[in-house]
Structure 1
Amino acid sequence: MIKADNLSFSFPEKELYKNISFTLEEGQHCAFIGTSGSGKTTLTDMIMEPDRYMFDGTLKIDPDYRIGYVSQFSQLDKTREITVFDYMAEEFIRLQNEITAICTEMETSEDIETLLVKYQAALDAFDAMGGDDYENNINKKLNLADLSKHETAMVSSLSGGEFKLIQVIKVMLSNPHLIIMDEPDAFLDFENINSLKNLINSHKGTLLIITHNRYLLDHCFDKILHLENKELQEFDGRFMDYKLSLLQTKIELQELAAADTAEIERNKAIINKLRLAATFHTEASRGKSLHAREKVLERLEARRIKAPFVVIRQPEIVLPDLPESEETTVLKVHDYSAAFDEVLLEHVSFEMKSTDKVALIGPNGTGKTTLLRDIYKNKTQSIQVGDQVKMAFLSQIQGEMLGEDHTVQDEFFEIGFNTYDEIKAHIAKYGFGEEVLTQKIGNLSGGEKNLLQLAKVSVTKANLLLLDEPTSHLDTYSQLALEEAIDNYKGAVLMVSHDFNTIANCADYVLMVEDKNIRKISIRKFRKMIYASHFNKDYIEIQDKKKSVETKIESALKKNDFELAKGLSEELERLIKLL
């Protein structure tokens, strides 16, 4: 359906792709993954509007191919007065009205031929969308996404997460040949993520979805496109099978590299001896021996396999470095309430200690971000922040904390960095190359902007971090790095998150918004609650065993114990087959 062959493309400041090739066939559900800023969104833009881009290679798409699109930035229009059902039926109703109007015009018009052409085009468009049964199809999709109760509600009353699901449903109902979604999971709560999973899995057409959500990756896709270091790899199969393939390749490459390293060192020693001998002896045979050895060394070094997909540099996310200190209370919230058009939170009370790592969870639109902002502003009597507490805030609205018109270097000069080299060294830890320093922040990807926010937070002396959806837009490698950074941080963290893995791996306990109040629950109870909603018992047990085996493999590779690593990878493969 779509075929790219030796596709290359560059911006003036950055090369994105170098001779990449892939195919996307009818009915495939394809996950598009890769590190932040690798060019995933640009490639989907090229597929939708190839004429806008000057690229080398070929990109073959049928000119009659209809593509639907769900943006990561879909915004809810609170002023729009239309019901959910009517909003999703808009295009069907428009075509019905157009067909009726053409029929009416035919009764009096003499130009029947032109009207017949228009009538047939409108009818074909209506039929292509399954128009005869659109009301039933809308109801089925709403039921699948657990949104039936909102059918007659106004769109303006929906939460951001509910509206995102409505956007997905609306595009699916139009029945295009391909649907492209750019991080449709961003900011969705646990229930909405599960609804999105159901919508994806029930869709009969072709999907290309940019996502870093580990839950969706494990449950929704039969093809993987992985863009990394200007190259692209495609894999037909599940994400967990792809990860296993990468791990097995990593074991093979590391074993080969270890053998090659020993051989390279041996040849370097021989070359050094031959060079030393050549300084005292001028025989041609000695020069030939030296040249031959140098050629052997060149071949060995060239044979080192380039592995852009297995050796991916994980960012070194570091949070503020704090000294050890006695445990104190850093935050007290007492009888806090928040309301806009309606009451979101009321009579909320809790407190946090100086080393607490806390996840604030709950459905979209229940006041979590409002509470976080009020804590940061510290101007509400019901919120008390400790005298020795310094706060830092990471916003899901990235333009609040970053100057979109600034260059990256401007942003860091503004917060106290003194030299270009100092900034370059600092942001390199977060995976940024030197070329990004002069780029405008507004041109960066969502994941890159979140990494920049974290890079700014890291140089503060904050001992209370308020993080609003910190893993949103981050690739899986950056998510893992952030989890490790939170775990090592000696201060307190209050984060709004809907990422199950991040919460389970980082938080000491959970504050759950429930009935306009907040309830404290243990991580153990939180895990059981999520498992009951989304997983079966066998799945969780297998996942725990799988994680244990993966940890043992990494340990074996660090010790260059390749036989143990191979044996463990076979055990891992058996576990994955059970999933």
Structure 2
Amino acid sequence: MITVDNLSFSFPQKELYRNITFTLEEAQHCAFIGTSGSGKSTLIDILMDPERYLYEGKLEIDPTCRIGYVSQFLELDRSKETTVFEYIGEEFIKIQNEINVILTEMETSTDIEALLEKYQLALDAFDAMDGNDFESNIHKQLNLANLMKLRDVRVSDLSGGEFKLIQVIKEMLNSPDLMIMDEPDVFLDFENLNALKNLINAHKGMLLVVTHNRYLLNHCFNKILHLENMELQEFDGRYIEYNFSLLETKIELQELTIAEAEEIERNEIIIDNLRTVATYNSEASRGRALKARVRFQERLEARRLKAPFVDIKQPNISLDMDHELEEDTTVINVSNYGVAFDELLLENVNFEIKSTDKVALIGPNGTGKTTLLRDIFKNNHESIEIHADAKVSYLSQLQGEVLKDSNTILEEFIDAGFETYDEARSYLAHYGFEGEIVNQKIESLSGGEKNILQLAKVSASKANVLLLDEPTSHLDTYTQIALEKAIQEYKGTILMISHDFYSVVNGMDYVLIIDDKTIRKMTIKKFKKMIYAHHFDRDYLETEQNKKAIETKIELALKDNNFELAKGLLDELEGLIKLL
């Protein structure tokens, strides 16, 4: 239905794509991945409105192809009185009302012919939308997402996560040939994330979904588009299989690269020897031999393997701190805390966090997690006590709370305390912000780039207590993994709100979970079982843990250039992936 052939596109300050090629066909559920700022959202804009863009190459879209779209930035109109059912069924109800109006006019009109024609057109449109079953179809989708309880609730009363799911349901029921969703999972709690997974897996049409959520990537898609370093790779298969193929390629390339490097080094020695001989022997044959060797060396250098998809540059996230508190020091103490807005959210909340604790705060959307985190950061609530030697840094899910959109990236870090532009440039390079991009306004950055900047500011603060509100939102998977490593190595206190299952289980010591308007402590082991029990068979978690252990062994083998061991482990890994 959609063919992209050798498409290239640039902004004045940045080249985005260089001769990328891919197709989208019926029934494919395609995940669109790539590092933050690589141009995924721009490519979606080009697909939806190609006339707005001046690109090179060919873009062919079947003229009958209808495209539905769910944006990553959905605005909820709080003034609307529309119920969820009315909002989802808006197009159906509109045509249904039109048909009723025509029937009423027929009762008194003398121009029956014109009304009959109008009536037939409206009926055809209604039939094309499967209008006769629209009520039962809405109920099916609401039940699939476990949202039937919201049927008669006003849209204006929904949480952000609920509204995102309702938007997805609405677009799906309009039956587009291609449904595009740009990070539909951002900020969804675990229940809503599973609802989104169910909706995606039950959808019969073609899907193109930008997502960095490893849970969805592992369980929802049969095709991968990977955009990286201006190039695009197309893979037919699951994300878990795509990652395996990347690892397989990485082992092959690393082995070849080392062999090539050895050959280049041997050739360099021969060239040096020939040059030495040529200084005291000027025979023409010696000169020709030297030139031939130099040309051969140039060919070897030009042939060096480049791997944009297996050698992805991760940001160098390092969570440092100036002052380490003694072990077992109580850093945060919350006693009989409560919060309410229109209704009571939390009451009688009691917990304490020690100086080396890494804790995830978990709960459904709209239960007061962010409010609690802000109150801890502000430290002006009578129920909250912060240790006098605690230096606290805060990452907000509302990026404008921490970053000033009108600043350039450099200005933001000069404001944050860097003394010179050179110092700020050097620091920002570790996070992937190099060259002219540091002079861009923050408002022009992608959501992922803004969150990386927030992480850079948190790290620069050298605080010993980090309050992180959805730190993985908008981050590509490579940055998520870099953040997980930084969290594991950090020596201070972390309290993190997150709905990213992998970030929680890979980096946290335990979970504080919101349950019946209060908070209780839960071990990571129990948390894993709770999440997996509802969605997978009982062997799945153990198999996935074994997979992660083998991947770590392969990584260590590659560091030692032990390719035979890496290949043996790869066979073992392939067997586990088949089980998953």
Counterpart position of 2:275: 275
1:64-463 aligned at under 5 Å gives the runs: 64-102=64-102, 104=104, 108=109, 119=119, 122-327=122-327, 328-463=329-464
Tell me how far 1:533 sits from its aligned partner. 1.9
What amino acid maps onto 1:209 in structure 2? V
CA distance in 2, matches of 1:109, 1:326: 91
Contact 2:319 2:462 in 1 (8 A): no
What amino acid maps onto 1:48 in structure 2? M
Contact 1:128 1:175 in 2 (8 A): no
Tell me how far 1:515 sits from its aligned partner. 0.7
Instruction: Indicate yes or no: 2:505 matched with 1:504.
Output: yes
Contact 1:320 1:457 in 2 (8 A): no
Q: Aligned to 1:511, what secondary structure does the other structure show? A: strand
Contact 1:28 1:207 in 2 (8 A): yes
Q: Aligned to 2:7, what secondary structure does the other structure show? A: strand
In structure 2, the CA distance between the partners of 1:124 and 1:13, relative to structure 1 (3 Å rule), is farther
In structure 2, the CA distance between the partners of 1:285 and 1:463, relative to structure 1 (3 Å rule), is same
Tell me how far 1:71 sits from its aligned partner. 1.1
Contact 2:321 2:464 in 1 (8 A): no
Residue by residue over 1:321-379, the C-alpha shift from the partner in whole angstroms, topping out at 9 and shown as x without a partner, is 34544121111111111111111111111111111111000011000001011111111
The two structures have a TM-score, normalised by structure 1, of 0.97
Contact 2:30 2:207 in 1 (8 A): yes
Counterpart position of 2:25: 25
Q: Aligned to 2:137, what secondary structure does the other structure show? A: helix
Q: Aligned to 1:503, what secondary structure does the other structure show? A: helix
Unaligned runs of 5+ in 1: none
CA distance in 2, matches of 1:103, 1:8: 53
State the percentage of identical aligned residues. Answer: 66
Contact 2:34 2:226 in 1 (8 A): yes
Q: Which moved more, 1:250-259 or 1:536-545?
A: 536-545
CA distance in 2, matches of 1:121, 1:456: 59
What amino acid maps onto 1:258 in structure 2? I
Q: Which moved more, 1:89-98 or 1:324-333?
A: 324-333
Tell me how far 1:119 sits from its aligned partner. 5.0
Tell me how far 1:217 sits from its aligned partner. 0.6
Residue correspondences, number: 578
Q: Aligned to 2:381, what secondary structure does the other structure show? A: coil
Q: Which moved more, 1:118-127 or 1:334-343?
A: 118-127
Contact 1:35 1:475 in 2 (8 A): yes
Q: Which moved more, 1:43-52 or 1:535-544?
A: 535-544
In structure 2, the CA distance between the partners of 1:247 and 1:121, relative to structure 1 (3 Å rule), is farther
Contact 1:323 1:490 in 2 (8 A): no
CA distance in 2, matches of 1:102, 1:280: 103
What amino acid maps onto 2:415 in structure 1? E
Q: Aligned to 1:524, what secondary structure does the other structure show? A: helix
Q: Aligned to 1:459, what secondary structure does the other structure show? A: helix
Tell me how far 1:155 sits from its aligned partner. 1.9
Root-mean-square deviation (Å): 1.6
CA distance in 2, matches of 1:498, 1:29: 23
Tell me how far 1:133 sits from its aligned partner. 0.5
Counterpart position of 1:535: 536
CA distance in 2, matches of 1:217, 1:97: 41
Residue by residue over 1:299-337, the C-alpha shift from the partner in whole angstroms, topping out at 9 and shown as x without a partner, is 212222211001111111111334544121111111111
Counterpart position of 2:54: 54
Unaligned runs of 5+ in 2: none
Tell me how far 1:535 sits from its aligned partner. 2.2
Contact 1:407 1:440 in 2 (8 A): yes
CA distance in 2, matches of 1:7, 1:92: 38
Q: Which moved more, 1:300-309 or 1:444-453?
A: 300-309
1:461-472 aligned at under 5 Å gives the runs: 461-472=462-473
Tell me how far 1:235 sits from its aligned partner. 0.4
Tell me how far 1:84 sits from its aligned partner. 1.4
What amino acid maps onto 2:220 in structure 1? C
Residue by residue over 1:54-74, the C-alpha shift from the partner in whole angstroms, topping out at 9 and shown as x without a partner, is 111111112332111111111
In structure 2, the CA distance between the partners of 1:363 and 1:63, relative to structure 1 (3 Å rule), is same
Counterpart position of 2:474: 473
In structure 2, the CA distance between the partners of 1:324 and 1:387, relative to structure 1 (3 Å rule), is closer
The two structures have a TM-score, normalised by structure 2, of 0.97
Contact 2:547 2:573 in 1 (8 A): yes
Contact 2:395 2:467 in 1 (8 A): yes
Tell me how far 1:251 sits from its aligned partner. 0.8
CA distance in 2, matches of 1:119, 1:46: 37
Residue by residue over 1:276-295, the C-alpha shift from the partner in whole angstroms, topping out at 9 and shown as x without a partner, is 22233322211111111111
Contact 1:412 1:423 in 2 (8 A): yes
Tell me how far 1:154 sits from its aligned partner. 2.1
Counterpart position of 1:490: 491
In structure 2, the CA distance between the partners of 1:418 and 1:122, relative to structure 1 (3 Å rule), is farther
CA distance in 1, matches of 2:232, 2:436: 22
CA distance in 2, matches of 1:418, 1:273: 50
Tell me how far 1:163 sits from its aligned partner. 1.4
Q: Aligned to 1:490, what secondary structure does the other structure show? A: coil
Residue by residue over 1:97-136, the C-alpha shift from the partner in whole angstroms, topping out at 9 and shown as x without a partner, is 22333455566375956x6776555444433322110000
Contact 1:9 1:16 in 2 (8 A): yes
CA distance in 2, matches of 1:112, 1:56: 51
What amino acid maps onto 2:360 in structure 1? A
Q: Which moved more, 1:200-209 or 1:426-435?
A: 426-435
What amino acid maps onto 2:95 in structure 1? L
CA distance in 2, matches of 1:465, 1:119: 63
In structure 2, the CA distance between the partners of 1:131 and 1:308, relative to structure 1 (3 Å rule), is same
In structure 2, the CA distance between the partners of 1:152 and 1:300, relative to structure 1 (3 Å rule), is same
CA distance in 2, matches of 1:266, 1:340: 73
Residue by residue over 1:525-547, the C-alpha shift from the partner in whole angstroms, topping out at 9 and shown as x without a partner, is 11121121222212112111211
